[in-house]
Amino acid sequence: MNKRTRLLTLCAAFLMPAICATTLAATPTVEERLQALETGYAELKAENARLRELLAGKTPPATPGVPAAPAVPAVAAATPAPVAVNVPATVVAAGKEAKLTLGGFIQGQYESGAAGDSRFAGVDDRFYFRRARLSVTGKFTENFDFRVEADFGANSLGASTGIRASANEIYVNWNRYPAANVRVGYLKPAFGGDQLWSDTTTYTIERPLASDRIADGRQPGLGVYGSLFGKRIGYLVTAGHGNGSSSSQNDDDRFLGAARLYGTLFDSPTAGRLVGAINAMHSTDAAVAKPGFGFDSVAGGAADSIFRGKREGWGADAQWSLGALHVGGELLRERFEPENALPSRAFDTQGWQLTAAYTVVPRRLQAVLRREVFDPNLDVAGDSTGNWLAGLNYLIKGDDIKLMVNYLFGDAPGLPDDSGRLFARVQLVY
């Protein structure tokens, strides 16, 4: 039953008592019967229009010069009371928004086995909510839109306690020109294709190690986004705090600047579709957490992963799809120059990944295979991590309802050989 049919049925249920009451009154004339039918029809149209506007998220204003629908004639006192009808709750904008939407998603997760790589060192078998987000988005006719999103899950790979709701993505966006949207809020820097990929549409449960280590997370900042030539080319330019967290505190008076350019290289039924991107970043930091590189903010102390100094990075990524096959990859490289020369005066880090996904059963089952390598310091031998990941995705309702199983074959320094870890996830987007 579609929305229109439901609305008509609901309105008819509201009007039925009145129509029945009119029939039970004194025997009407033909003119009175016609008047009752016209009245009922007018009332039905008015109620239908009102419910349509409510479902669209707004209450319709009165139309100047148009009289209200005529009232239903009074009925006899003996008329039975109308039967109560349950009406679905409707979200109505409290302000002047033209559109208001409530949504989010849940990712329940299970993990078992060894560490896999350094991100899971010391983490035991566990059940937890990787992400549990609730968002409100809205749009104004004056070329503004907004989003407010909170996360009630762990929102982190590390083991944590005292989980509570925290701000995730919050922004106000001016969208007057498709070639130049201006956005302010908690934004991801324009660096790293895997980091910018939506959490709900990734082929694997977790992102590659290099993406988590080299790229930065969401942070307060300003961004300009745009697309050109029928959306064949797009760009992102961002400036953020640089300390990689959704915090109102900046670690210094400087910002992390990043820029990304992407586009469709070709798109045809026979050759498939290829999308490519390049990006770069620069930041001078006073205190930013960058684990996995051996940074030590206090000489002679234990490594605390706090970096202070200058860093610059660049990267490239591409995605190719043809029928049931999808292949994608990314290369990231970054140069660190710590102020205290720990672990060295300057060094380069690099990581890459290559992922292939194949739809075995159309719109139902996907098989995934990923190879990834992360080298935290190209000047040091034997410190790189090389992982294989294999997985299956069962799509119950596309990405809205899906089950995912991954197994990470880890090969990381300091961990036992074949340090494998099993991941399982259920995802619901609402």
Q: Please indicate, yes or no, whether the overall pTM of this predicted structure exceeds 0.85.
A: no
Distance from CA of residue 264 to its chain's centroid?
22
User: Based on the domain organization, do 78 and 131 belong to the same domain?
Assistant: no
Nearest in space to 319 (alpha carbons), one of 354, 270, 284, 286? 354
Give how many domains the chain has, as a whole number: 2
How long, in residues, is the chain?
430
Nearest in space to 266 (alpha carbons), one of 318, 316, 313? 318
3-state secondary structure 200-228: CCCCCCCCCHHHHHHCCCCEEEEEEEEEE
User: Based on the domain organization, do 164 and 268 belong to the same domain?
Assistant: yes
User: Based on the domain organization, do 312 and 234 belong to the same domain?
Assistant: yes
User: Based on the domain organization, do 177 and 311 belong to the same domain?
Assistant: yes
Give the tens place of pLDDT for each residue, 128-187.
999 999 999 999 999 999 999 999 998 888 777 777 788 899 999 999 999 999 999 999
Other CB atoms within 10 A of residue 1 CB? 6
pLDDT at 251 over 80: yes
Nearest in space to 336 (alpha carbons), one of 313, 311, 315, 314? 311
User: Based on the domain organization, do 106 and 88 belong to the same domain?
Assistant: no
User: Based on the domain organization, do 291 and 219 belong to the same domain?
Assistant: yes
CATH of residue 235's domain is 2.40.160.10
User: Based on the domain organization, do 322 and 358 belong to the same domain?
Assistant: yes
Nearest in space to 68 (alpha carbons), one of 33, 48, 42? 42
3-state secondary structure at position 392: strand
> CA-to-CA distance for 45 and 93, rounded, in angstroms?
23
User: Based on the domain organization, do 288 and 315 belong to the same domain?
Assistant: yes
The average pLDDT across 242-257 equals: 83
* Domain region containing 114: 99-429
User: Based on the domain organization, do 9 and 25 belong to the same domain?
Assistant: yes
Give the tens place of pLDDT for each residue, 79-95.
444 444 555 566 677 77
Reading the block at residue 226, the tokens are 């745009």
